[in-house]
């Protein structure tokens, strides 16, 4: 697979390279710093932060912004920050803060289908207002000297599949890469992602396009690339409980031996380290709650029993969670949860 080179519109000497072109998608409440670091260690070409509300980020007190920058891991290699919002001023200000803090790439969210986001006329709601969407893109591109990318869906609904036109206008404004989730907003996550429809965007723009949606294996990635003609893939829900998946997909697409998924003691060590990182990142009480979904996904991926999965997710003592991990992550546990 090729290396994707993204050039900053305002600074041609400022480039970001994505090798391999297999990217971890931004997912609210999931792709926090601890999870992104696990995925990055396995070898994803790029990891993207959870969506950040631009106005909130820009208006916070300096001390709060400093903590937010640290929590975003802006100094980490191969990291992009995704911004959402509706006001050009705040989008530009947040982009400056993120870029000044070390973000290699700024990604603009125009694809989130969540009612809370769309209700604020942000995310995929902007696909219904392409002129306003373009003003936001121009503001962000004009504010920073790092590459700016855009993530959208195919359109708002089947009557408004305007991703090719929006992508063309975005690239004209300086966007260096476009990612398309192969569904409309009104589909949410129902049905199957339409990878073939992404080809219309690929043909519309001269910059790299990533295919996103329903990529849960190397076979899915190959099929998505074949159908869309995209330059790479973005993996979201498929990496839940399997942070090694982007690296496996990248190896398969390059014809390299697949890194083995951790099993047994190696898997326990990985999950224990991720769990303890979450507790350190969020603090004990919040960390216990945030970790539950990740522990459940790990147990599901490992083929653990429902009883042990529940035990992991309801334990209120970190030491108890660590004791349960060897059996909860085994397809043939030797101990049955009480």
Q: Report H helices in the chain.
A: 33-42, 54-59, 62-72, 88-101, 115-119, 130-143, 163-172, 195-204, 218-228, 245-253, 264-282, 284-302, 306-314, 318-328
Q: How many CA atoms lie within 13 A of 22 on its CB side?
A: 30
112 is catalytic: yes
Cβ atoms of 31 and 48 closer than 8 Å: yes
Closest CA to 162 of 210, 105, 111: 111
Cβ atoms of 228 and 196 closer than 8 Å: yes
Residues 234 and 244: their CA atoms lie apart, in Å, by 14
Burial group, residue 13, by CB count within 10 angstroms (0-12, 13-18, 19+): exposed
Residue 235 sits at the vertex; the CA angle it makes with 192 and 133, to the nearest 5 degrees, is: 80
Catalytic entry in 11, 112, 160, 186: 112
- The dihedral built from the CA positions of residue 176, 26, 270 and 245, taken in this order, carries a sign that is negative
CA 276 to chain centre: 22
Where in the sequence numbering do the catalytic residues fall?
Answer: 112
């Amino acid at each position: 697979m090729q290396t994707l080179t993204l050039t900053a519109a305002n600074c041609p000497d400022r480039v970001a390279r994505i090798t391999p072109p297999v990217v971890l998608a931004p997912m609210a409440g999931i792709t926090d710093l601890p999870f992104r670091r696990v995925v990055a260690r396995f070898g994803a070409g790029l990891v993207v932060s959870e969506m950040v509300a631009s106005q909130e980020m820009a208006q916070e007190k300096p001390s709060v912004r400093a903590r937010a920058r640290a929590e975003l891991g802006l100094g980490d290699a191969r990291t992009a920050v995704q911004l959402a919002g509706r006001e050009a001023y705040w989008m530009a200000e947040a982009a400056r803060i993120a870029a000044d803090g070390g973000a290699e790439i700024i990604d603009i969210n125009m694809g989130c289908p969540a009612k809370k986001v769309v209700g604020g006329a942000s995310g995929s709601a902007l696909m219904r207002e392409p002129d306003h969407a373009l003003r936001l893109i121009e503001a962000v591109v004009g504010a920073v000297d790092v590459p700016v990318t855009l993530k959208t869906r195919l359109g708002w609904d089947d009557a408004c599949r305007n991703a090719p036109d929006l992508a063309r206008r975005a690239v004209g404004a300086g966007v260096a890469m476009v990612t398309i989730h192969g569904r409309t907003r009104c589909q949410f996550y129902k049905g199957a992602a339409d990878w073939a429809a992404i080809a219309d965007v690929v043909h519309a723009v001269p910059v790299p396009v990533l295919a996103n949606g329903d990529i849960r294996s190397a076979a899915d990635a190959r099929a998505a690339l074949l159908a869309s003609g995209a330059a790479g893939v973005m993996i979201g829900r498929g990496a839940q409980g399997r942070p090694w998946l982007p690296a496996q997909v990248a190896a398969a697409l390059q014809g390299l031996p697949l890194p083995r998924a951790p099993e047994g003691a190696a898997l326990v060590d990985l999950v224990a380290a991720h769990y303890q990182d979450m507790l350190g990142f969020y603090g004990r009480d919040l960390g216990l709650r945030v970790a539950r979904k990740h522990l459940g996904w790990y147990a599901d991926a490992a083929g653990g029993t429902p009883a042990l999965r529940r035990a992991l997710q309801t334990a209120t003592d970190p030491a108890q969670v660590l004791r349960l991990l060897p059996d909860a992550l085994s397809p043939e546990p030797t101990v049955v949860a009480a």
